[in-house]
Chains A and B, each alone.
Chain A
Amino acid sequence: EDQVTQSPEALRLQEGESSSLNCSYTVSGLRGLFWYRQDPGKGPEFLFTLYSAGEEKEKERLKATLTKKESFLHITAPKPEDSATYLCAVQALGSSYKLIFGSGTRLLVRP
């Protein structure tokens, strides 16, 4: 069964303290791995899609990487406005584009 596990469940950082979020996945064949940011009371906001092991993508203070079993979202020198829940999802080959989500990592960045 296709599955996504995210860790840690919650993470507290001081402003400027870099860290990484983990997304481990089991999927029959990977079409793509997605990262989203979700703020309270809002819908998930697209960050990145990664398609193959070794691929990396960056956006401002965020960098996503992908291996055959997991993905990392690296946050460099975070700011309080980076506080949100970060969701990872996989899309399997032949799955008609449905996303299978992990339960998310709640990130709090303190000033």
Chain B
Amino acid sequence: DTAVSQTPKYLVTQMGNDKSIKCEQNLGHDTMYWYKQDSKKFLKIMFSYNNKELIINETVPNRFSPKSPDKAHLNLHINSLELGDSAVYFCASSGENAYGYTFGSGTRLTVV
């Protein structure tokens, strides 16, 4: 059973479109995250939710909107996609005191 699963794995879309990435974890963790990995492989946090409550919102364009319907799911919606949004987006989750910080396999977003 995959612990942190993301869909889709690949996403190719045109500039200006709106797209969503979904994430689910079956580890029973309370906290979930979105990270962005750019072309230089640098991982940077975007958002974090704890029990459906937003606790981290880094300096991210407001075209990016996370949503957590329950503590096992965290989705990322992106409006008006731009070329610079092309990257790999990783979902992660962790338990109490950040125990067991686990990443999904990533969604490679390409904006053309």
Residues of A that sit less than 8 Å from B by CB: 31-32, 34, 36, 38, 41-46, 49, 85, 87, 89, 91, 96-101, 103-104
Contact = CB atoms under 8 A, between A and B. Distances in A.
Size range of the chain B interface in the assembly: 20 to 34
17 contacts: A41-B105, A41-B106, A43-B4, A43-B103, A43-B104, A43-B105, A43-B106, A44-B43, A46-B100, A87-B43, A96-B48, A96-B55, A96-B56, A97-B33, A98-B33, A101-B43, A101-B44
Contacts of A97: 31, 33, 48, 94, 98, 101
Interface string B7-42: 000000000000000000000000101010000111
A98 B90 contact: no
Contacts of B106: 41-43
A101 B42 contact: yes
B111 interface: no
B93 to A, nearest CB: 10
Contacts of B43: 44, 87, 89, 99, 101
